[in-house]
Structure formats: structure tokens, C-alpha cells
Structure 1
């Protein structure tokens, strides 16, 4: 595997609407990010990915883009973006933007021109088909947000267009080479401005199964899970390879793909030397226990399943390339509330969860607020829910026979609002996020969980993340943590997630994934304890007694 500039870095995701508001309008902005760059630098962050900041009607929180060459006024201006890139470079930091090119907004000029003349040039920028009342749809695919992927074309009841996400997000027709050229031109325009690269959104969806076909239905709506189509579609690599050659490779840019369903044999094509992307996210723990029926039928992941997901992923990727490892992001619940069994979330368990994912091979990503152990919201009334997928799943749960109270409890665990509440900077009004009215409710626990308090506390989750990052970057151990092998240790042991990082050194990560103590016999004598989420460790000879959710990193 060819070594790359980003391999030894630490990445951080900003959801800009909720990060820091500099002007008191209740919405986070670019100047807010600039003001917090020193905080990120002090944490140890090198790469900063910013979720969409382009002009948008915000039907799907900015993932519906109406202009790829500008900044939405709620976030600032292009001048602010140039300043952010400049200020980041002064601190040896790199800025990534979101690349959202499976679809655009229905308010983008391309779609407006397609609506004006569906048979003209811009009609072919989208998937537009004839439509007759009472006639069968072109296919029975269900959109990610519920309902058919087909919607009548505005102003043309005899036509319909495809949207695999929200109806205000018409899919771009990647089969059209003119569309692809427009994408490449835009990507290179941003890279010319000094951007370090992109996180690529929902990219597998750009390849559709053509001609359209129906798949077995799985709900009473007569529609099918769109994942069936994606498994059947072939040839996405031709598009992705062309994108890589025409853009990223020209700049040695970093690119990380949101890819959920790559096949094991395709991994070298995706992230091997010269692959489509620098890296892809490892979502194995996030998708575990999913169900076609809806959130009400999803299984809650166990510590043993969590461990297995990570070890299987490490084996799958081997030496082909690097995964990007996460606990959470803007589309997932807060990891500490999701992966730690109910009732067991504590200072120690938050730190244990941090260490066992962070020290795996791959690029570690931290999502805003994760470094202080931000948690899920309590169960909130449905009228306070902003997330469109949660609202859809609320209805799905009601349709499945659950009461409104039960449906609220079901969606509360996975509601994307959990990760989108404002960052908790201090214990003052609105958690110090804004002087105005926040666009989304602040988690009520901000008085206990906030940056200001944790910066003063050597025992805090924030201090532990700083230790973790410093350990991974320590010149004595960096080679092993970045490039060393991951070798599971006592893999079948219940509620123990343990593994060697073997390279120049032999480093053992031991995570007790339960409240009860566990005794572990080390494979050889421990030389140094490099990390511990407790003040001390009980080691007698080769015997270690791990306390409630204790994590140790031991040099053997």
C-alpha cells in the first residue's frame, strides 16, 4: 500500500448549522468555525470535513443543493470560505467539503430548465419518464424517506421524475456525459480554491438498474427497498474511476466515500492504490441489525456484535487501504447512547468506546460533540422532531400497530436530531452556541456536559480524547498505530474487545465492554501502560483485572 499524506492524520466532522453561531441568528456559520479552529487544533485535529454549506432550500438540511458554486447566506459568503481555507492552512489543517452529486435541489437552475422544457437539453440531466393517471409506475422502488421514487414533474402532469431521497432532490442522470462534465468542472473549481478534498455523499446511488425493473415488495405500500436495486446495478466503477481521474488524482486530494454496500472483492477498486477514493467509511456497526420493515424492527447492537463488526471489517480491508473509522456522524444517533447498553453510559464507558474504535487501523473521524461525550436527546414530542427520516419512521411504526407513545420511543434512539443538536460549549444560555434562538433544541444536559467544564477537568472525556490523539501521533508509537496490523486478542471472550497493534512495537488494546470486572491473562509481560481510563491498573504478573468499562493500552 502506497503511503499517503493523510494516513497519520485525525479528522473531525462539522455539521455547520449546529457548530457555533458567530452572529446570533441561531444558525452556526463559517465565521463560527474560524473562531473555533484553535480549539480543534488544540484537540489534535488535522482534517476538517464540513457538511453542506452551499445555497439550499434545506428540505434535507443542505443536502439539496441549488448552487454548487456558492455559500448559503445563512453560513456566510465565498469570502468567508476563502478565509477559512487560509486560516486552516496557517495551522497546518485541511478543509474538506461535502460533494453531493447523486441529486441536486428542485430549485437548482438545471431542474427549473428541465421543468420548463422536459424534452430539451436539461430534461436529460434527470430521469424523466412519461406518466399517465392509473398507469403503473416505471418501477416500484421506495425512496429513502418513504413513498415512491417517482413524482409528477412540476407543470407537466404527463411526466414524472425520479428522486431516491426527498422529492425536492431530483436525481442527476450520470448516464449523460454532459452531467458528469459539469460535476468534474465544479469539483476542480473548489480544489483550485485550496480545498484539500471532499466527503462524497450517497455516491453508490448514481448508478441505476436500467432498464427499470420491479423487485419483491416488503411492505403494504407495494414498494421495495431500494437496496435491492443497488445490489443489482452494475458499472458504478466506470463513473467513479472517471471522477477520480478527472478530479481528485490531479490534486493529490483526499476523498472519502459514503459507501454502504461495497462487495468485498470491490474494496481494492474503491480504496486500493489508485482506487476511486482515498478511503471509505466503515459503517458495519451502524447498519448492523437493520430491517426492511422499519426502525421498529431493528435490533439493538450488542458489545460482542460491535466487536465482530470491527474485526470483520479489518480482516476484509487487509492491506488494500484505509477505512475511515467512526462512532457517529450527522446521520447516526450519538454513539455513546447507541453502542453502550442502556443504563450503562458513564464517564468510563464513554472513554472505553472512544479508545477501542480510535486505535484501529484506519483514519479516525470524530464528529462534533463526540469529544465531550454528547448524548442522545430524551424522548421528545413528535412536533419537536425535525428529522424527516424520523418523522417517516414514526408513521411507519404507527402503521405497524404501535401506539404514539411506543412510536416516539422507537424513533428516539435513531432520530438524526440526536446528532444535530447544537454543540455544548458551556453551561450558559443555549449552551454557548448562540446569543439568539437556536434553530434546533439544545440537549437539556448541556449544564453537565460541555466544553468549558471539560477543558478544566483532567479526568474529562475531552481530556481523554486529547490523550488518545497524542498517543496515536507520538513519534515512538505512530508507525505502529498508523500502519501496524490489527490482530484480535481473545476474540471469542464475551464483552471483551481486545486487539494487538503489531508493527515496530507490540501494543495491546484491552476494552472491558461491561460493568462487571474481567480478569485477562496477557500474552507476554507488559512493559508500559500507555493509556488508562482509570487512575490505576491492577496488574499482577501477567494477570490484569479490568474494572467496570476499563480500557488499557499496554506496550508488551
Structure 2
């Protein structure tokens, strides 16, 4: 494997609306990010991915872009962006932006011109089809629910494709003019000094043509998008994107990839892959039901372990995955992956240990480093997320009562991770002087950065220790490059693995339950590098682990 500059990095995701507000309008902004760069440096991160800040009507929180070359006034202006990149560079932090090019906004100039003249140049920038007798081109369901076909404004006999929100028309990548527009925009940003991009929903850019219907998988008569995607490969499009943009600038790129074909991992993240890395979504999709969120079971410790080990095995000798516990599209990881009633500082640190100690590039989502938890929403009125509202309706149609439907969807709601960062215990958690655009998590007086910064045993300080260990010259090569070798897999609720370097072996053991467990070590312990709780209890080769205890050991 070719070693690249990004392999040793630690990354951090910022959801700008909810990170830090400096002008009191209740919405986070670029100046807020600038004001927290020293905090990010203190934490130890090297790359900061910022969710979309381009001009947008915000139908899908900025993932509907109306101008790729400008900053939405909600967040500031281009001078703020230039200052952010310059100030981050002074601190050896690279800024990564979201690249959203499967679709744009219906308020983008291209789509407006397509509506004016569907048969002209810009009509070919999108998938626009004639519809006769109300028969839609296909029965694909939008990711946000309902048909992915919508009547073109001003043209009732024509429909356009939107795999996401109806205000997010899909761009026609089959049209070389569209690709040229995208490549020019990407390179413009890289020329400005951007470190790279996180590539959104990129697996969707290739459609199976001609359009057709697929077997319905819900009572709405529609079919999951993946049924179309598995018929096609976006190899040519992504190869061209890489060669024309990222490769020219040695830029970092991380793909959001779902539904990739079997055995295509080398195409995505191999030495000559489309991207530098891609997110390991294996735990995020574990237990997902085609019927909807209401039927999704809580993931077990063994399921979590098996998903991680499977991904580690697939990626070995291929490339680097980017490892996540959560992001802006997921609930809070500690609430999702830990059993109800067992979420505490010890179990949060245990999960963090597993996250950081497997091979790959660790991504921290804002608030994860202080152990922020899900919000106990009491009404759908408190929830902004369009996907949660769709899943609520799915649950109602399945026969759940309104109370049951709320209970079932709030656990998975994307707004769990989108509420403002809890900086301190003051009003609005120190996020804003105004009223936040989305409610604060009511537990901010208990879980906030200010209190944890002063506490050497806090979740925040433990994350700092994990990052420092990863960067420690004595262990860096093993943690970054070493092989992940699962061990003790016959024990329930135990996740353990060796990280094997050229001349060094580390053992990571996590007791993924509240009851103690004992294991028999295969070798002698040389050093205890990290321990999330209590004492290190070893007698001869027997190691006693307390509930949710995790240790990182250097072995002889």
C-alpha cells in the first residue's frame, strides 16, 4: 500500500448550523468555527470536514445547493471562508468541504433554465421525461419517501427525477457538459487551498437506463433505490472525477458509499481507488429494516463486533476505511450502540476505544468527544428532520399509535446529532446568545465541554488520550498501519483484537457488558497504554475486566 499524507490523520466533522453561533441569530456560522480552531487543535484533530455551507434554500439542511461557488449568508461570506482556511492552516489543520453533486437545488440556475426550456441545453442537465396517462417512468422510492418523480414546474406532462427531496433534482452525469461543470467547480475550490472533500451520496450518480419498475417492497407500490443501483457501476464516472480533480492536487477525498457491489472495495479505496478512503457504514446499517425505522432492533455487542471485524478483514491490504461512531445522518452513537440504561462515562470510553484502535482514519463528530447522547424528544413538533417525519408516517401506516410511532422514530432521528453543541452549562449551552434554530439537548447542564475540560477523568480527556496515543511515535506505526487480528471471538459481549506491527503487538480488549468478565491472556503484558476505568486486575495470565472496561496493552 502506498503511504499517503492523510493516513495518519484524525478527522472531525462540524455540522455548522449547530456548532457555534457568533451573531446571535441562533444558527452556527463560519466565524464560530474560526473561534473554536484552538479548541480543535487542543483536542488533536488534523482535518475538519464541514457539512454544506454553500448557498441553499435548506430543504435538506444545505444538501440542496443553489450556488456551488458562494457561501450562504446564514453562515457568513467568502472572506470568512478564506480566513477559516488560512487560520486552520496556521494550526496545521486542513479544511474539508462537502461535495454534493448527485443533485443540486431546484433553485439552482441550471434547474431554473431547465424549467424554462426543458428541451434546451439545461434540460439535458437533469433527468426529465415525458409522462403519458400518469404512468411514471419507474416506481423507485425517494430516500425521503414517495415517488422519486415530480412534475416539472410549468410542464405538467414532464417529470424530473429526484432520488432525495423533491427540491433536489438529480444531475445527469451521462451528460459530459454536466461533468465538466462539476470538475471545474471542484478544482476551483482546491485551488483556493481546500484540503479535500467528503463526497456525498456518490453511489447514486449512475442510473440504470432505460427506466423500469422493480418489485414493490412496501404497500405504497414503490421500490427501494438500491434495487436500481445494484444493476449499474459508476466506475467510469468516478475514475474521471478522481483523475480530473483530486489526483491533480493530491487532495484528500472520503466517500459516502452505500450499496457498493461485492469485491469493488479496491476500486473505491485501493492504491488507485476513486477516493483516499470511504466511511465504514457497516455498524450504521446493521439491523436496518426495509419496513422502516419502527422495526429496527437495538444492535447487540456481538453484532457490533462482527460488523467491525468484517470491515477490517475486507479492507486489509486494500486501503483505509474512515471509522465513525456517528455523523449528522445518524443518532448519537452512545445511545445507539449501548443498551438502554447502560450509557455512562465508562461505556462511552469503551466505545471510543474500539472506534480509535481499529485500523483506519478516525472521524469524530461534534459532541461525540464529550459523550453527547440522544435527545428525549417528547413531540414531533420538536423535530425538524424531514426523514424522521417520513418515518413517523411509515410507522403510523404500519398501525402504531402516535405515541408508539414517536417512540420508535426518535431513537433514530438525525436531529439527535443535529442539536447544538453543548459548550457549557449557561443558557442555550453556550451555543448562542439568541434562540437556537433547533432545541438544545436538555441534558446540557450535565454533559458539556466546560465541565469536562477541567476533569482529567472525563470523556473529553479520554478522547485526547486516544488521539495522543495514536500520534505517539513509539506506537504510531502499529496503530496506524498494523493489522487488526480478532481474538476471543467465542466470548459473548467481548470485543478483542491485536494490532500487529512489524516488531510490536498491541492488544485491545473491551468488555461490552455491565457484568465483569475474565479472559486468559495468550502472552505477557509489557505495558498498560490505556485503561478506561478502575484498576488493571491481572493475576498470572488471568485478566479480570469490570463492566464496560476497555484496555490497550502492549504485549511481549
Tell me what 1:160 maps to.
159
Q: Secondary structure of the equivalent of 2:32?
A: helix
CA distance in 1, matches of 2:238, 2:325: 26
Return the TM-score normalized by structure 1.
Answer: 0.99
CA RMSD of aligned residues (A): 0.7
1:220 correspondence with 2:214: no
- Corresponding residue of 1:130: 130
* Residue 385 (structure 2) aligns with: 387
Runs (5+) with no aligned partner, structure 2: none
**TM-score, with structure 2 as normaliser:** 0.99
2:245 pairs with one of 244, 247, 265: 247
Structure 1: 4+ residue segments shifted above 4 A: none
Equivalent in the alignment of 2:92: 92
Partner of 2:493: 495
Deviations 1:128-186 (A, max 9, x none): 00123x43210000000000000000011111100000000000000000000000000
Give the equivalent residue in structure 1 for 2:31: 31
Partner of 1:10: 10
**Distance in 1, Cα, partners of 2:553 & 2:17:** 40
Query: Which residue does 1:313 correspond to in 2?
Result: 311
1:52 Cα shift? 0.1
Structure 1 CA distance, aligned partners of 2:142 and 2:484? Answer: 38
Pairing of 1:177-188 with structure 2 (within 5 A): 177-188=176-187
**Alignment partners' CA distance in 2, 1:264 and 1:395:** 33
Residue in 2 aligned with 1:286?
284
Distance apart, 1:37 and its partner CA: 0.4
2:230/2:261 contact within 8 Å kept: no
Alignment-derived partner of residue 56 in structure 1: 56
* Structure 1 residue 261: Cα displacement: 1.6
Q: State the Cα distance separating 1:409 from its structure 2 match.
A: 0.3
Q: What is the distance in 2 between the residues matched to 1:339 and 1:141? A: 31
Alignment of structure 1 residues 82-481 onto 2, 5 Å: 82-132=82-132, 134-234=133-233, 236-481=234-479
Matched residue of 2:69: which SS?
Answer: coil
Q: Counterpart of 2:551?
A: 552
Matched residue SS, 1:48 = strand
In structure 2, distance between residues paired with 1:450 and 1:328? 18
The 3-state SS of whatever aligns with 1:487 is strand
* Number of aligned positions between the proteins: 554
Aligned-pair distance for 1:492? 2.2
Q: What is the Cα deviation at residue 431 of structure 1? A: 0.1
Aligned-partner SS, 1:82? helix
Give the structure 1 partner of residue 44 of structure 2. Answer: 44
CA distance in 1, matches of 2:142, 2:63: 15
Q: State the Cα distance separating 1:362 from its structure 2 match.
A: 0.3
How far apart are the structure 2 equivalents of 1:288 and 1:53? Answer: 30
Distance 2:327 2:103 in 1: 21
Contact kept in structure 2, 1:264 and 1:316, CA below 8 Å = no
CA deviation after TM superposition for structure 1 residue 337, in Å: 0.2
Which deviates the most, 291-300 or 541-550? 291-300
Return the offset for 1:221.
1.0
What is the distance in 2 between the residues matched to 1:50 and 1:541? 49
2:79 corresponds in structure 1 to 79
- Which moved further from structure 2: 181-190 or 214-223? 214-223
Report deviation, 1:535. Answer: 3.8
Post-superposition offset of 1:380: 2.3
2:228 aligned counterpart, secondary structure: helix
Provide the C-alpha distance between the structure 2 equivalents of 1:528 and 1:89, rounded to a whole number of angstroms.
36
Structure 1 runs not aligned, ≥5 long: none
Quote the offset at 1:248 in angstroms.
0.1
2: CA distance, partners of 1:263 / 1:128? 27
Shift, 1:68, TM fit: 0.2
